[in-house]
Each structure stands twice: as C-alpha cells, then as structure tokens.
Amino acid sequence: MPDVTTVQPLSLSLDKMSVSKRAISKDSKGPNGKSNQLSSESDRYSCYPTPFVGDVDLPESMEPILMESKRRFVLFPIQYHEIWRMYKKAEASFWTAEEMDLAPDVNDWNWRLNDNERHFISHVLAFFAASDGIVNENLVERFSNEVQAAEARCFYGFQIMMENIHSETYSLLIDTYIKDPNQREYLFDAIETIPCIKRKADWALKWISDDQSSFGERLVAFAAVEGIFFSGSFASIFWLKKRGLMPGLTFSNELISRDEGMHTDFACLLFSHLRRRPHPDIIRDIITEAVAIEQEFLTDALPVGLIGMNAKLMCQYIEFVADRLLQTLGNPKLYNSTNPFDFMDNISLQGKTNFFEKRVSDYAKAGVNHSATSTDGPSDATSSKLFTLNEDF
C-alpha cells in the first residue's frame, strides 16, 4: 500500500467553490503547486497515490449495498444485522417538536441574554434550520436512490422524518424568539443572505450535485456535515446550558445532537461495508476541508466569543471531533487534540448521558436488540466504533 504520509494535502480554493462542481475545483492545486485542470476522473485523482483502497477494480455498481436486487423490496430475512440494529435504535429515539417547552426561553431571551448572545443564537439557529433540509435533499435525491440494502433504506427513511422534525424545531425556535417578521425572513433565507452560512451550505450542496465523486467520498462528506459542521454549534448551545440559560433550546439541542451523532455513526457503518473505499488521503482532505470551514465559522464569521467562549478552545474541540471521525472511518488521527470542554463530557452516544430525563432514557422505548436480529449472525466489527464527541484515547 502506498505511503500515505508522503502525500501533501490537496489545497482547495474554498472561496470559489461552486454548488454544481466537484469538491476539487478547477482551481485546485496539486502537490507541485500548479493548477489542475480537472477534465477526467484520472485528473481528479492525479495528486493521490491511488484513488481507492480495498477491491480497487470493483465497479461501484457491484458494491453489495449498492447493487440492485429484487430483495430490496422485502425485509426478512435480515441480511445486514448491524444496519438493522441501527435502524431499530433510531426508531426507538423518536420524538416530536411538540415536546419542547419554550415558555421559559422567552424570558431568558428578552431579559437574560445580551445583544451579542441573541445575535449568535439566532444565526446558529438559522444555519441549523437550513442544514437539515440540505441533509434531506441528499438523502432523497442521492443516498436513498443509490443504496439498495433494505435495512439501510429503513434507516434513511426514518432519518428523513427526523430531519424534518429537527427542521420544524429550529423553525419554531426562530419563530418564538424573533418577533420582527423581516428579521425572521432574513434568518430563514440564511443560505442566501448570510455569507458564513452560505459557505457551509454550498460545501454540502456541491456534494449532492456532484456526478464524479464516488459514493464513498460523498458518504464521508455528509458524515463531515453531520459530525463536524454541527459539532461546534452544538457545543456552543451546551455552553448556554452550563450557564443555566434557555432550557427549551438546550433540551432540543440534546435530542438533536444525539440524533445527528447516530446519523454520523450510521454513515461510518455503511462506509465499513464498502469493498472499494476512497484512499485515506482523500478521506483526510474531505475532513480537513470541513474542519477549516467550521473553525472559520465559529471563530471569525460568527465568533463564539460573542457568548463568552474561548475561540482557541473551540478550534481544538472541532479538531478533537474530527480526529474521532477520522479514526471511525479507519484513518489515523490528524490533529491529536483533546477535548477542552468539560461540559461536553455529557455528550456521549454510549449511554453516559441523561438526555432523556423528561422521557424514556437511552433508547429504551423499543426493544432494540429484540427484533429480527435476536438470532442474527456475527456482529459487525465496527459496532464498537461509535462516533462520540467526548472520548479521548
């Protein structure tokens, strides 16, 4: 296998990214610093040792989870037990926007927050309100059509519903806090009206319309959207919880952050089923792009200093989350950053939290392990590789 440590990261012209183009734009620089004119698949990968690892000669249409089969119309007998278990876990986590009590938040918003804090929260909510719709656009337009495994389609179907609930929740939060109708419209149109949010949205949208990248690359990209683009904003809202502010907002953040962690974990699980996977250097470059955009978003465009957080520590936290995602995808850690936020010790996807203190806890609403999988075969090796936001090793 090629020595991946000798390859320089691909430099991307982030300010020229087009929604309709591949992540590697025409202005991309190769390791020699010269512009790459990308006109073919071979050109796109010219700065990497090899595009793929694993079964490199396998056509994408022959990937087992992507290969068309009449079996996709029926569920039993279950073929992918660990994917089915993930679906049942998602099913057990169901909640609705009506569970939010926002009455106490109005007093905090009007009397306990300052102008900077209101500005920060409203813009974070504006990003979230649009981003869940973008995730759904990808699920409906691409992933649900490409993935043929019935168990995975079950998960995607449920994820689409939950993303709708997330979007409804964020819209209700904006509607509740922002009384000026012009300001509300400005926030609801954030991907067009707010440049720092547009930049994040454009990065996600370009992967949806990308007709050149492999399924594996796009799977990694949307794992980065849900695992990295959301992480800093989740942490900033949990910072408010530590200060005893906005209980309705912070409770919704608990529920949504747990859902998004599971969605990221599911992307990593599907990735582990690919026989032909993107080269580790390609994975690294996708993740580092996302890290750079998220760090800029929360330290420059919408600085966390507005709510009293330390920007340097936020950058460290985003790197910590990225390292965890890289390892779950089979890559080595890149940043070697530790978790700087003690209050984020409660944000684990492994049952350490008390997220559901108002409800049934830890996905116990359904017998996750007592379904068609009760007589399942060997569990997937990645079942122990849960994507968490607080683990250090």
Catalytic residue positions? Answer: 170
Per the CB < 8 A criterion, the answer to whether 359 and 96 are in contact is no
d(CA 95, CA 295): 31
Q: Which residues of 89-98 are buried (b: 16+ CB within 10 A; e: fewer)?
A: bbbebebebe
- Closest to 254 in 3D by CA, of 113, 353, 325: 353
Give the 3-state DSSP-derived string for the chain, with helices as H, strands as E and coil as C. CCCHHHCCCCECCHHHCCCCCCCCCCCCECCCCCECCCCCHHHHCCCCCCCEEECCCCCHHHCCCCCCCHHHHCCCCCCCHHHHHHHHHHHHCCCCHHHCCCHHHHHHHHHHCCHHHHHHHHHHHHHHHHHHHHHHHHHHHHHHHHCCCHHHHHHHHHHHHHHHHHHHHHHHHHHHHCCCHHHHHHHHCHHHHCHHHHHHHHHHHHHHHCCCCCHHHHHHHHHHHHHHHCHHHHHHHHHHHHCCCCHHHHHHHHHHHHHHHHHHHHHHHHHHHCCEEECHHHHHHHHHHHHHHHHHHHHHHCCHHHHCCCHHHHHHHHHHHHHHHHHHCCCCCCCCCCCCCHHHHHCCCCCCCCCCCCCCCCCCCCCCCCCHHHHCCCCCHHHHCCCCCCCCC
CA atoms within 13 A on the CB side of 195: 5
- Closest to 227 in 3D by CA, of 170, 268, 271: 268
Residue with tokens 């813009």: 123
